[in-house]
């Protein structure tokens, strides 16, 4: 998949599930449940035990059916390993220029983290495809995204941290390109209990929310 195709796919889906799990098997089960729920984009954080193995397994089993990404990438070496394992995009919790450079070297999409206006603009100028605004819920949520979009209408923002079903539509209508969703989609208690159908149901709810937000935006635009 080309870099532009990856960018378009992320915006089209509108949701980037942030998969954190206590084991590789749990992460794999969670990913399969999310895909069954209608979300074909997955971000496997490097905090998952044997995260590279998880990426490889997903690349083998789901192939072209999903868009795989690696999250919590903190350095260039991890970035390269994730891309070689099958990741099509990289996500960092903070502004890591070396990760951006590795993504560019492999012609892959990168979402570095940024919170302040300076960090957001610096990430974009360094070549970010999207800027992950993290932790967005702690600094105003949708209102903060709207504030950032005023001076930076050209920057593609993906809020992460504090995104849930109650505020997802507000985040999208505020100008977010997509949403990074963690525990409110990838329910840790449900995973520990082996109730992966909960994740599937959560995924369906978020897909419905994105569909409604897009319909709302079209009506406003009209």
Write down the pLDDT at residue 222.
45
Positions of E strands within the chain: 15-19, 41-45, 67-71, 89-91, 109-111, 113-114, 131-133, 157-159, 179-181
pLDDT attached to residue 221: 57
CATH of domain 3-221: 3.20.20.70
Write out pLDDT tens, residues 107-165.
999 999 999 999 999 999 999 999 999 999 999 999 999 999 999 999 999 999 999 99
- Across 179-196, average pLDDT: 97
Question: Token pair of 161, please?
Answer: 């941290």
* pLDDT per position as a tens digit, 30-87: 999 999 999 999 999 999 999 999 999 999 999 789 999 999 999 999 999 999 999 9
**CA 194 to chain centroid:** 24
pLDDT-derived band of residue 1, with 50, 70 and 90 as boundaries? confident
Mean of the per-residue pLDDT values of the chain: 96
Q: φ, ψ for residue 84 (rounded to 5)?
A: -70, -25
For residue range 9-45, list pLDDT tens digits in order: 999 999 999 999 999 999 999 999 999 999 999 999 9
Residues 6+ apart with CB under 8 A from 37: 199, 200, 201, 202, 203, 204, 207
Judge whether residue 220 has pLDDT over 70. Answer: no
User: What one-character-per-residue DSSP string does 103-139 give?
Assistant: HHHTT-EEE-EE-SHHHHHHHHHTT-SSEEETTGGGG
Q: What's residue 46's pLDDT?
A: 98
CB atoms within 10 A of CB 65: 9
Neighbour-count burial of 75, counting CB atoms closer than 10 A to its CB (0-12 exposed, 13-18 middle, 19+ buried): middle
């Amino acid at each position: 998949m080309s870099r532009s195709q990856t960018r378009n796919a992320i915006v089209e889906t509108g949701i980037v599930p942030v998969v954190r799990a206590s084991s590789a098997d749990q992460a794999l089960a969670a990913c399969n449940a999310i895909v069954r729920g209608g979300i074909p984009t997955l971000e496997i954080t490097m905090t998952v035990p044997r995260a590279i193995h998880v990426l490889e397994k997903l690349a083998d089993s789901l192939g072209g059916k999903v868009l795989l990404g690696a999250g919590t990438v903190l350095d260039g070496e991890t970035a390269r390993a994730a891309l070689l394992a099958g990741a099509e995009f990289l996500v960092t919790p903070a502004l890591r220029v070396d990760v951006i450079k590795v993504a560019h070297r492999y012609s892959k999409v990168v979402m570095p983290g940024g919170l302040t206006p300076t960090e957001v603009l610096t990430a974009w100028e360094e070549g970010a495809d999207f800027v992950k605004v993290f932790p967005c819920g702690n600094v105003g949520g949708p209102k903060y995204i709207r504030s950032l979009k005023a001076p930076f209408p050209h920057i593609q923002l993906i809020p992460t941290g504090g995104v849930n079903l109650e505020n997802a539509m507000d985040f999208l209508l505020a100008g977010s390109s997509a949403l990074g969703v963690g525990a409110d989609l990838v329910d840790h208690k449900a995973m520990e209990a082996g109730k992966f159908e909960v994740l599937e149901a959560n995924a369906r709810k978020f897909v419905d929310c994105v569909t409604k937000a897009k319909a709302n935006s079209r009506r406003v635009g009209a």
